[in-house]
Structure formats: structure tokens, C-alpha cells
Amino acid sequence: MTKDDFYVGYQDRAPVSVGGTMRRVAVALIVVAVALAAGLTAEQDPFNDAVFEFLEVKTFEGVLRSDPVPMLEVTRPSSEGASVSSYLLVKLGKHGADDLVDGREGQRARIDGTLVYNGAVTLIEVADGGVEILDGTPSSRAEPARRLLGSRRLVGEIVDSKCWLGVMKPARLKTHRACAINCIAGGIPPLFVVTNGDDADVYLLVGSDGRTVNAEVLDFVGESLIVTGDVAMMGEWLVLSAEPTGFTPAAP
Amino acid sequence: MSLNYRAVGWNRQKRLYDTALVTGIVLYLAVFIAIGLTTHPEASAEVLMIRGFGSGAFVLLHVILAIGPACRLAPRLLPLLYNRRHMGVAMFSMALVHGALSMLMYHTQGDLNPIVSLFASNTHYDDLMRFPFQTLGFFALVILAFMAATSHDFWLANLSAPTWKALHMLVYVAYAALVMHVALGALQAESSPLLSGFVVVGFAGLAALHLFAGLRETGRRDRSLAAPRDGFVDVIALDELPIDGHGHVACLSGERVAIFRDGDEVFALSNACQHQNGPLGEGRLIGDCVTCPWHGYEYERTTGVSPAPFTESVPTFAVELRDGRVWIDAKPRPARDAHHGGEA
């Protein structure tokens, strides 16, 4: 710097040479920052194509089920005749819907809520006060409750069903761990997700005796695990019955 | 320099600085979100915002931390330093948006208070790889909030420069926490080589820059001088002192002294500006005042007192010319109480 180059910030103008240097530095910094932004955002890992119909409340009619987790059994017309779908039920926020189905097993209800779906499985986020009992007479299940597929040893990750099915993306691994723990602790059914490239098999996770295991799996959420248990098909849902005491970490 | 405390004493240069800063931030966020939505149409806007604001703040923090040593190595970059606090407050604001959105998404609407949830949802504090990385981000955000809140000269004056400076060195603690926040969070979940590369290269680059600037500073400081005679130290030949307003820095009895020459007159002041300990010896003698290169604080060359109505002052040193050489009293004259003639 020569004497003429000396920069004093509170003066109105910088020396010409200093101003020129600063213009070049500012442009270079902005170009590098923008290039970094483009690279970092383009290089993000893929997001799944799950859907959360945020702010879109729809009305559903069906039969309330509490086994193995709160669900609404809905009859849907199709070209091959009527079919039955079981939609998971959760409440707003990070709260499960156990209290909405307690004592209402098999009752016919109308539910206002928001659809969340990922692949073949669907969840309804029930709106506040969104349950209306249409018929208090319990009805039996429309199809056999479970079809046993056998024992399996699976490598995957425990996630919460609400976020995984579309409320949050991504809804797995370390960055989502605290959220998933809060959701599962709040009663939202846990899922065991086995990823294979872009595909994922999704299992409703319950204890070997069919009990809910939310409190027992909190320590394992968001980590790669080996889980051995019995797998059954229940409607469109795969149900994995396994004991959390047998969960073991998988090699990274 | 300003006498009265105002939020920002705007001038043309500050407006240009902030225009470039805001332009850079807006472009970063716009590109991050627009390209994110194009390349990942399934992504949710809130996650792109969390990532955009978080990564943007982290990138900007690297720029902020690089400015100090870069200016030591290339004084032409000093204008970047002048309003660095604006950059710091902007970086904190981005980090705050990142943190607030993350809290909203991941820790609200559950059974726990969000702050309790932050610390209690993931409890693997005893395991590095499973460590609750969000707490590290929160810790860094608290430091950055404290720094942003005390960034104004009002706090600098009231806390005293050394205290303020020491407190603001906490930015390095915040940076360390943020490196771990990213390493134990995003890097465990994302496979992007650019992201991991940026964290590694950013850390290595900042470390190298600081090390290089520090070594150069140590080299300057280590130039040995002869032992004092009659309390005075032989510092330099008069002819070796610049005559164009540049200064010369010498180390006397552990204290750095800024020395300036005007014709056959030589003046010596403490090298540490009272504002932020800026190196006065790298400033300029302009008229009767030595001007600090960092923020333009001025000190009258013989008394070390800022011109009225300003009140800063720095210690000065007695100077004698003996046989064409500059001798300086190793014992400083205390800083004067500005405009009252006595010692502070």
C-alpha cells in the first residue's frame, strides 16, 4: 500500500485502488459462495416421494381398529370390487392416537384429517375433534387379521411412521433422530424400514406378543440395526413382531 | 470513529459493504433453494431452508474467521475487516433462522418442552458417534448471540477493549462446536463429498491461514534489540524509518511500539489501538495524528490522545536521536486522560 492507498472506513470514499481490489474480492467471494450453494444443494442425498397433504383436510369413513396400532379400516371401491385399506391414525403434532380408538374397537366412524402416504401405505393425521362415531356397534374385521410370512432377520432402521410416511424429509438417520424419538415417545407407531437402493420395505414394529414397544425402542431410533422377528401381512401392512432386547447394532 | 452511539453510523462505504454482503446472502439462499427444488423436487421447502440457512451461516463464518489473518498477510484486504461485525451479525441471523426452524420442526409439538427435548431426546452423551449433535449447534448459537448482542462499540467501550476482545475470541469455541455439529450431524446422514470436503478443507485452510499469519507475526516480534542504556533502547537508524507516513514496529521490554517519522522528528506510541488492539504501527501518520488501519481511530502523535471530542488515548514513549539513530525510552509514559492533561 502506498500512502494514497490507506483505507479509512469512516471516510465516504475508499482510495481508488482499494475500491477496485474490494470489488474484485467481493465478486470472487460471491461467485464462490453461489457455486458452493449450487453444489451443496445439488449433491443432497435423494428425498423419497412421500406425500403430506399439508392443510388439506378430508373426510373418511371406516371402522376403527386398535390392534396392533390405531387404524381406520376403509372400504375402497376398485375395478376388481371393493377392497379394504387400513390407514394409520395419529394426532396433530408428535402425538399418537391411542386415546381416539380406546374402547372404540370395531366402531364405525367418520374422521376428518390430512392424508400422509408413502408407497402403498397411508396415514391420517386426525384433525382436532375430527372423530365422529357413526355406529357404536363393534364390527368384526373385514379380512383375516394377519397372515404369517415367517421369521426373518432384517437390517434396517427404526423411524416414526408419521414423519417417514411424508411429514418430514428426510425422516431417518442421525439428523432426524431427536424428532423421531419425540414422535415415538408421543405414541406415534414406530416403523422398521429396510432400505434397498431407492426402495424400502416398511414394517409396523410391535413386540413379540403384539404389544406396542414405543418406550422400549427409543434408544435404538435412527440407527442401523439387526432385528430378528416374525413377519406377518395385515392388509397392506407388514407387521414385524420382535423383542427390543434382541436388537443389535449393524456394522456401519 | 464516532462519539455518540448509534446503531450504525452509515456512510457510503458501509452501504457498499452491506449491499455486497446482503447480495451474497440472498444469492446464496436463492440458488440453494431454487436448485434444490429443481434437482430434488420431492424435497420439502422447510428442509431446504434449514439446510440453506445453516450451510450459508457456516460458509460465512469461514469468511469471517479468514479475514483477520488474511489482513495480516495482505493489508489491501483491510476494508473487509472494517465492518466485519456486520458480517458477524448477518451470520448469526442466518444461524438463528436455521436453529429456530430446526427447533420448530424437530422439537416442538411433542410431550417435552422444546428446550428440554433438545437436550433430553437423544441422550447418548457418552458416545461420540451417537452424540446429540443439535446441542452443539445450540451451544454455538448461544455464543454467537452473545457476540452479536455485544458487537456494538457501546459494549466495547463499557467492557473495555481487552475484555471485549477476549470475549469475542469465543468465536473460535463456537466454530469448533459447529464443526462437530456438522461432523456428527449432516456428515453422518449425507454422502455428499462436497459437504465433507468443505468441512475438511475449510478447517485445514483456516488453521493454515492462522498458523502462517501467527508465524509471520512471531518472526516480526522476535527481532532482538540491544540492551537499554540509560533506560533508552537503540531501535533503528533514522534513515531506515519510512518518510511517507508508514510506521515501524519494534518490541521494547515486551511491549510493541509504533514509531513514525515526520522529517527529522520521530514519534513513538503504544502499538495497540485502544479500540480493538489494532496495530497502530501498520497505520499511517496523517497530519498530526496516527491513524489505526483497522477502524480509523486517531491519536495525536506526541500525546497519544485522540483529537477532541474523542476521548481515547494510548501510552507514548520518549524518543531521542543519537548519532543518526533512534533511541526510545523502554518505559512508556502512561496514557493521558484525554483533554485534561493528566494521566488516565
**Contact partners, residue B332, CB within 8 Å, separation at least 6:** B255, B270, B315, B316, B317
Identify whether residues A198 and A231 lie together within a single domain: yes
Tell me the pLDDT tens digit for each residue of B134-157: 999 999 999 999 999 988 777 777
> Is residue A87 domain-shared with residue A171, that is, in the same domain?
no
Residue pair B295/B312 in contact (Cβ under 8 Å)? The answer is no
**pLDDT at res. A90:** 98
What average pLDDT does range A59-64 have in this prediction? 96
Q: Hunting for cell 415415538 — which residue is that? A: A184
Let me know how many helices (H) and strands (E) chain B has, helices first: 11, 10
How many domains does chain A contain in total?
Answer: 3
CB contact under 8 Å between A9 and B111, yes or no, is no
Q: How many CA atoms lie within 13 A of A230 on its CB side?
A: 11
Chain B residues with beta carbon closer than 8 angstroms to that of A10: 1-2, 9, 11, 13, 295-296
In a domain, A140, yes or no: no
Domain match, A124 and A56 both: yes
Which of B285, B275, B269, B281 is CA-nearest to residue B332? Answer: B269
Low-confidence ranges of chain B (pLDDT < 70): 1-9, 219-224, 337-344
CA–CA distance, A66 with B228 (Å, rounded to integer): 91
Do residue A12 and residue A57 come from a single domain?
no
Contact A173 B189 (CB under 8 A): yes
Q: Prior bond to B309 cis, omega within 30?
A: yes
- At A171, the amino acid letter reads A
Tens digit of each residue's pLDDT (9 = 90 or more) over B157-214: 777 777 888 888 999 999 999 999 999 999 999 999 999 999 999 999 999 999 999 9
Q: Do A222 and A171 belong together in one domain?
A: yes
Which string of DSSP letters, residue by residue, matches A109-161? EEEEEEEEEETTEEEEEEEEEEEEEEE-S----SS-S-EEEEEEEEEEEEEEH
> Cβ of B310: how many Cβ atoms within 10 Å?
16
pLDDT value, residue A165: 96
The reported pLDDT for the residue numbered B142 is: 97
Which has the minimum average pLDDT: A42-51, A76-85, A219-228, B101-110?
A76-85
Q: Kindly report the backbone phi and psi dihedral angles of residue B337, in degrees, each rounded to the nearest multiple of 5, phi listed first.
A: -75, 115
> How far apart are the C-alpha atoms of A86 and A95, rounded to whole Å?
19
Q: How confident is the model at residue A143 (pLDDT cuts 50, 70, 90)?
A: low
Interface subset of B 308-327, CB within 8 angstroms of A: none
Claim to verify: residue A18 and residue A61 sit in the same structural domain: no
In CATH terms, the fold of domain B232-329 is Rieske Iron-sulfur Protein (2.102.10)
Specify the pLDDT at position B12: 85
Residues A164 and A107 in one domain: no
What residue segments make up the domains of chain B, in order of their start?
12-220, 232-329
- Under 8 Å between Cβ of A214 and A182: no
Q: In this structure, is the dihedral angle defined by the CA atoms of residues B113, B118, B119 and B122, taken in order, positive or negative? A: positive
- Residue A166: pLDDT above 60? yes
Which among B78, B81, B104, B107 is the top mutation candidate for probing chain A, defined by the most A β-carbons within 10 Å of its own β-carbon?
B78
- Largest CA-CA distance found in chain A, in angstroms, rounded: 94
Residue A41 to residue B33, Cβ atoms within 8 A: yes
Identify the closest residue of chain A to B36 by CA–CA distance: A41
User: Given this model, what pLDDT does residue B221 score?
Assistant: 59
| A152 and A123 within one domain | no
B49: nearest CA partner in chain A: A41
User: ipTM value of the model?
Assistant: 0.90
Distance between B1 CA and the closest CA of chain A, angstroms: 7
Say yes or no to pLDDT of A131 above 50. yes
Asked if residue A163 is part of any domain, the answer here is yes
For chain B, positions 153-192, list CB contacts with chain A under 8 A. 184-186, 188-192
Binary contact (A37, B246; C-beta < 8 A): no
A170 and A201: one domain? yes
Q: Cα(B270)–Cα(B328) distance, rounded to whole angstroms?
A: 12
Residue A57: CATH number of its domain? 2.40.50.140
Residue A181 is nearest to which of B39, B121, B198, comparing CB atoms?
Answer: B121
Q: Is residue A43 part of a domain?
A: no
Domain shared by A170 and A213, yes or no: yes
- Chosen domain end from A109, A135, A161: A135
Host H or E run for residue A249:
strand A248-249
What residues in B contact A9, CB-CB < 8 Å?
A: 13-14, 79, 82-83, 295-296
Give the residue from A159, A175, A214 with the most B CB atoms within 10 Å of its CB, the best one to mutate.
A175
Contacts of A38 in chain B (CB under 8 A): 31-32, 35
Q: Please tell me which residue of chain B has the smallest CA distance to A49.
A: B42
pLDDT for B310: 83
- Whether A206 is covered by a domain: the verdict is yes
pLDDT for the residue numbered B342: 46
Task: Tell me which residue range forms the domain holding A223.
Answer: 147-249
What are A174-230's pLDDT values in tens digits?
A: 999 999 999 999 999 999 999 887 788 999 999 999 999 999 999 999 999 999 999
